[in-house]
Amino acid sequence: MNVLVIDIGGTNVKIWKTEEAEKAKFPSGKELTPQALVEGVREATADWPIERVSIGYPGEVRNGRPVADPHNLAPGWIDVDFGHEFDCPVRMMNDASMQALGSYEGGKMLYLGLGTGVGTTFITDGVIVPLALGHLKLWEGETFNHYLSRAGLTLHGKKRWRQAVAEAAATLKAAFFADYVVLGGGNADEIKELPEGCRRGGNHNAYFGGLRMWEDLGDAATPKLAVVPAAETQSA
């Protein structure tokens, strides 16, 4: 089965084809509309047979569809039928959840996606729980998102940013009784030494998460919310 995995980030859209290690990408940002996404994907995948599509969306997703426009993209995402646009079955989940799904190794895992913003997801015994922990306060009245985002890295420098990542990971690991914390996203490579109880992830795990979204419901190792039928749309 040829699965196309699309990870919509605040800076770039990343695309993987089944069994291809390298990703394609094109810019996202405030000018990216749903139609621009579809056109960019079609251009990047010309002459490649697509049978399924997995989409990581940078916002809240319910029943496989966006419920609000992302802060980092152009508006107009809520009512788009991506199954119709790609002419094949499509499954969608929050982008942090898709990366978390690709990083999951069992037990209780907390995922912190360090990218344009901070994406957070908790997986416990195979059940995905999307979170929005970036809005919580970390230091000096400022939020996790303020310190851990790409803007925070630029503003405070690598040393302070790494301290904030370590503090956030330790605090949240204890709060969620997590067995381990995965530090993923595009800026995970900026961490020199992993804090205790942490594992390194990365944007490539979105690809594995996208594939897992189509795994059989009977696979006990696959988090359940990744494959609920309600997350699928298909053109008539």
* Three-state secondary-structure class, residue 30: coil
In terms of DSSP H, where are the helices of the chain?
34-44, 82-86, 95-103, 144-148, 150-175, 205-212
Same domain? 54 vs 76: yes
Same domain? 139 vs 165: yes
CA 90, chain centre distance (Å): 16
Same domain? 74 vs 16: yes
For the chain, the domain total comes to 2
pLDDT score for 26: 94
Same domain? 132 vs 145: yes
Same domain? 111 vs 198: yes
State phi, psi for 17 to the nearest 5 degrees. Answer: -100, 150
Same domain? 64 vs 80: yes
The pTM assigned to this predicted structure is 0.86
DSSP 178-198: -SEEEEESTTGGG-SSPPTTE
Print the domain residue range for 111. Answer: 105-202
List C-alpha distances in Å: 64 to 81, 102, 156, 222: 11, 18, 37, 17
Same domain? 81 vs 125: no
Same domain? 124 vs 50: no
pLDDT score for 69: 94
Under-50 pLDDT residues of the chain? 217-232, 234-236
pLDDT digits (tens, 9 = 90+) for 91-129: 999 999 999 999 999 999 999 999 888 999 999 988 999
pLDDT digits (tens, 9 = 90+) for 134-155: 999 999 999 999 999 999 999 9
Tell me the C-alpha distance between 149 and 222, whole Å: 29
Same domain? 73 vs 154: no
Same domain? 68 vs 137: no
pLDDT score for 216: 62
Same domain? 194 vs 210: no
CATH number, domain with residue 222: 3.30.420.40
